[in-house]
Amino acid sequence: MAAGEDTSHILSGLTDQLPDRDPEETAEWVESLDALIREQGTERAQYIMRSLLQRAGAQSVGVPMVTTTDYVNTIPVDQEAPFPGNEEYERRYRAYMRWNAAVMVHRAQRPEIGVGGHISTYAGAATLYEVGFNHFFRGKDAPGGGDQVFFQGHASPGMYARAFMEGRLTEEDLDGFRQEKSRAGHALSSYPHPRLMPDFWEFPTVSMGIGPMNAIYQAQSNRYLHNRGLKDTSDQQVWAFLGDGEMDEPESRGLLQLAANENLDNLNFVINCNLQRLDGPVRGNGKIMQELEAFFRGAGWNVIKVVWGREWDDLLTRDTNGSLVKIMNETPDGDYQTYKAESGGFVREHFFGKDPATKDMVADLTDDQIWNLKRGGHDYRKVYAAYKAATEFKGKPTVILAKTVKGYGLGPHFEGRNATHQMKKLTLDDLKKFRDHLRIPVTDEQLEQDTYRPPYYHPGTDAPEIKYMMERRAALGGSVPERRSKHAEIVLPEAKTYEVAKRGSGKQQAATTMAFVRLLKDLMRDKNFGKHIAPIIPDEARTFGMDAFFPTAKIYNPKGQNYLSVDRDLVLAYKESPAGQLIHPGINEAGAVAAFTAAGTAYATHGVPLVPVYVFYSMFGFQRTGDAFWAAADQMTRGFIIGATAGRTTLTGEGLQHADGHSPLLASTNPAVVTYDPAYGYEMGHIIRDGLERMYGPDSDDRNLMYYLTVYNEPIVQPAEPAELDVEGVIKGIYLLAPAKIDGPRTQILASGVSVPWALEAQRILAEDWSVSADVWSVTSWNELRRDGLAAEEEAFLNPEQPARVPFVTQQLEGATGPVVAVSDYMKAVPDQIRQFVPNEYATLGADGFGFSDTRAAARRFFKNDTHSIVVRALEMLARRGEVDAGAPVKAIEKYKLLNVNAGTTGNTGGEA
Reported as a pLDDT band with limits 50, 70 and 90, residue 649 is: very high
pLDDT at 4: 35
Average pLDDT over residues 211-223: 97
pLDDT at 895: 98
pLDDT at 3: 32
Average pLDDT over residues 643-662: 90
How many angstroms separate the CA atoms of 623 and 632, rounded?
15
Contact 861, 652 (CB under 8 A): no
List pLDDT tens digits, range 512-541: 999 999 999 999 999 999 999 999 999 888
Rg (CA), the chain: 33
List pLDDT tens digits, range 24-69: 999 899 899 989 988 998 889 989 988 988 888 888 887 766 788 9
List pLDDT tens digits, range 463-508: 999 999 999 999 999 999 999 999 999 999 999 999 999 999 999 9
List pLDDT tens digits, range 834-874: 999 999 999 999 999 999 999 999 999 999 999 999 999 99
Average pLDDT over residues 416-427: 61
Average pLDDT over residues 384-398: 98
Nearest Cα to 378, choosing from 479, 457, 291, 306? 306
Average pLDDT over residues 202-215: 95
Amino acid identity, residue 452?
Y
pLDDT at 2: 32
Reported as a pLDDT band with limits 50, 70 and 90, residue 242 is: very high
Contact 455, 103 (CB under 8 A): yes
Mean of per-residue pLDDT scores for the chain = 93
List pLDDT tens digits, range 293-316: 999 999 999 999 999 999 999 999
In the predicted structure, residue 611 carries a pLDDT above the cut 70: yes
First to last CA, the chain: 60
β-pair partners for 149: 239
Establish how many alpha carbons lie within 13 A of residue 640's alpha carbon, considering only the half-sphere containing its beta carbon.
29
Share of the chain above pLDDT 70, in %: 96
List pLDDT tens digits, range 736-776: 999 999 999 999 999 999 999 999 999 999 999 999 999 99
In the predicted structure, residue 10 carries a pLDDT above the cut 60: no
pTM strictly above 0.75: yes
pLDDT at 5: 37
Taking the CA atoms of residue 836, residue 837, residue 843 and residue 848 in that order, the dihedral angle to the nearest 10 degrees is -70
Q: How many residues does the chain have?
A: 913
How many angstroms separate the CA atoms of 399 and 395, rounded?
13
Share of the chain above pLDDT 90, in %: 84
Reported as a pLDDT band with limits 50, 70 and 90, residue 423 is: low
553 or 56, which is more confident: 553
pLDDT at 839: 92
List pLDDT tens digits, range 873-894: 999 999 999 999 999 999 999 9
Reported as a pLDDT band with limits 50, 70 and 90, residue 120 is: confident
Reported as a pLDDT band with limits 50, 70 and 90, residue 13 is: low
List pLDDT tens digits, range 327-357: 999 999 999 999 988 899 999 999 999 999 9
pLDDT at 1: 29
In the predicted structure, residue 418 carries a pLDDT above the cut 80: no
Question: What is the DSSP code string of 529-564?
Answer: TGGGEEEE-SS-TTTTT-GGGTTTT-EE-TT---S-
Reported as a pLDDT band with limits 50, 70 and 90, residue 414 is: low
